[in-house]
Amino acid sequence: MESACNDRGFIGLKRLIVQERSLDCNHYKDGYLQRRFAVRMRARGVSEYDEYARLLKADPTEYDELMRDLTINVTQFFRDQPVFRTLEEEVLPLLIYHKVSKKEASIRLWSAGCSSGEEPYSMAILLRELLGEEYDNFSVSIVASDIDEDILKSAREARYLPRQVVNVPRPYLERYFALEGGEYQLSPEITDMVRFRKIDLFTATAGSHFDMILCRNVVIYFNREMQEQLYMRFYHSLREGGYLVLGNTETLVGEAATLLNPVHLRERIYQKGSAP
């Protein structure tokens, strides 16, 4: 099989996916697409991109499997514990302090590429804990977005296997989860804090004036041009003093790297301007 970027079959397959599912594969790195296509091609017993394109046309249900492979959904509650420890002990308390000092009562977060909900729900638990008795005096809004409608449905159900909650501190597990039939059901006290939306990061945002945007282990799969565009989109969606949290293998590139200040570089936490 010739180099993917010069393979007419590969180019035609990407074009077909854009036409049929409006997912512009050109935003992804070719190497990543090649690996994900290979997974489905092996599963269906085909070896050429042209063959797989014909299979997609003949069996549209294969698109669902392909979309799931392209939008990898692997996550846990409090994944990368040093990051969440820094958020819990330093970043969120400082954010709340500035809100109180300015007599502002709203906190807005966006979890971009939220998968099955563990990340936004983790943030909801932290905010519920940190605000304590003052919680009712705040308007907490957490938007969680993903391109995969099936995974969003799962996130709204908020039922998790034991391996998905292994990092949840015991007090939080006992307070906010109920073990039912071998799965952990998250309490409405937490789920009601999160609103899930289907958003394609290539074409849309969740709004503006966010105090924090988390986009972790998502951007790494996109090409350099798309990364630069996304980071600037996040920059404009943040309010002054707002935070951007990336995955631990991701680095800011392009203009955003000059506009967002690293406040916890090891944990990939950046800030727009400075806190008021």
Structure confidence by residue, pLDDT tens digits, 34-47:
888 998 998 999 99
Question: Of 1-15, 92-106, 136-150, 159-173, which range is least confident?
Answer: 1-15
Q: What is the DSSP letter of 219?
A: G
Q: Which residue is listed with tokens 């705040």?
A: 138
Query: What b/e readout covers 215-229, taking b as 16+ CB neighbours within 10 angstroms?
Result: bbbbbebbeeebbbb
Which tokens belong to 121?
Answer: 């729900």
| H or E element in which residue 113 lies | none
Q: pLDDT digits over 147-171, tens only?
A: 888 889 999 999 999 989 999 999 9
Q: How far apart are CA 35 and CA 123, in angstroms?
A: 32
- Whether 187 has a pLDDT exceeding 70, the answer reads yes
**Tell me, what's the pLDDT at 3?**
45
Confidence of residue 2 (pLDDT cuts 50, 70, 90): very low
**In the prediction, which pLDDT does 183 show?**
95
Has residue 24 got a pLDDT over 90?
Answer: no
What is the rounded CA–CA span in Å between residue 254 and residue 198? 27
CB atoms closer than 10 angstroms to residue 100: 13
Q: Report the chain's C-alpha Rg in angstroms.
A: 20
Does residue 186 have a pLDDT over 70? Answer: yes
In order of their start, the domains of the chain are 4-70 (1.10.155), 81-272 (3.40.50.150)
Buried b (16+ CB within 10 A) or exposed e, 123-138: bbbbbbbbbeeeeeeb
| pLDDT band (50, 70, 90) for residue 210 | very high
CA distance 163 to 222: 28
Residues 35-88 have pLDDT tens digits of: 889 989 989 999 999 999 999 999 988 988 887 777 665 678 998 899 999 999
pTM for the model stands at 0.80
Q: State mean pLDDT over 136-155.
A: 93
